[in-house]
C-alpha cells in the first residue's frame, strides 16, 4: 500500500510480558516518529529516527521502552515487562524530509491493552 502500515492492529498482553510493535513507513521516507496516545488524549512524542539513526528518544517513558530502525526503513517499538499504564494506542508516522520536517503521515496505530 501507499500509506504507513502498522502491525498488529490490536495487541492484548498480560502484565509483565514483552511486546513488539511494527511500523512500515511510506517507501523512501527518511523520518520516522513513534507516538503514544492514551484514551481521550492527543498523541505524545516517544522517539524520532532519521534513516537508521535515533536522533531523539526523549519521550520514551522508561527504559522498558526501546525502538530500532536498523536499515532505515521498518521500525520496531519494543516494550519490556509491560505494565497496565502502558495501555494506549501507539502511532507511527513518517515524513519525507530530514532537515525541514513538516508533514507527517500517520499509520492507523496499534492498540495495546495490558491486563
Q: Give the binding site for another protein (CB under 8 A).
A: 4, 31, 33, 35, 40-45, 48, 50, 55-56, 58-59, 91, 93, 99, 101-109
Q: Is 82 or 110 the residue whose CB approaches another protein more closely?
A: 110
Q: Are 79 and 65 in contact (CB under 8 A)?
A: yes
Name residues whose C-beta falls within 8 Å of residue 22's C-beta, 6 or more positions apart in sequence.
6, 7, 8, 74, 75, 76
Q: Measured from the CB of residue 95, what is the shortest distance to another protein in angstroms?
A: 9
At closest approach, how far in Å is the CB of 49 from another protein?
Answer: 10
Shortest Cβ distance from residue 97 to another protein (Å)? 10
Closer to another protein by Cβ: residue 27 or 58: 58
Instruction: Enter the C-alpha cell of residue 29.
Output: 521516507
The vertex-103 CA angle with 98 and 107, nearest 5°, equals 100
Cβ closer to another protein: 17 or 106? 106
Asked whether the beta carbons of 17 and 112 are under 8 A apart, the reply is no
Amino acid at each position: 500500500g501507499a500509506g504507513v502500515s502498522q502491525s498488529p492492529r490490536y495487541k492484548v498482553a498480560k502484565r509483565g510480558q514483552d511486546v513488539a510493535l511494527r511500523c512500515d513507513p511510506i517507501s523512501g521516507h527518511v523520518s520516522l516518529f513513534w507516538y503514544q496516545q492514551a484514551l481521550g488524549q492527543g498523541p505524545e512524542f516517544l522517539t524520532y529516527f532519521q534513516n537508521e539513526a535515533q536522533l531523539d528518544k526523549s519521550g520514551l517513558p522508561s527504559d522498558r521502552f526501546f525502538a530500532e530502525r536498523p536499515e532505515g526503513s521498518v521500525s520496531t517499538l519494543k516494550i519490556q515487562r509491560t505494565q497496565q499504564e502502558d495501555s494506549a494506542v501507539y502511532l507511527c508516522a513518517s515524513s519525507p524530509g530530514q532537515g525541514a520536517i513538516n508533514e507527517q503521515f500517520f499509520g492507523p496505530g496499534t492498540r495495546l491493552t495490558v491486563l
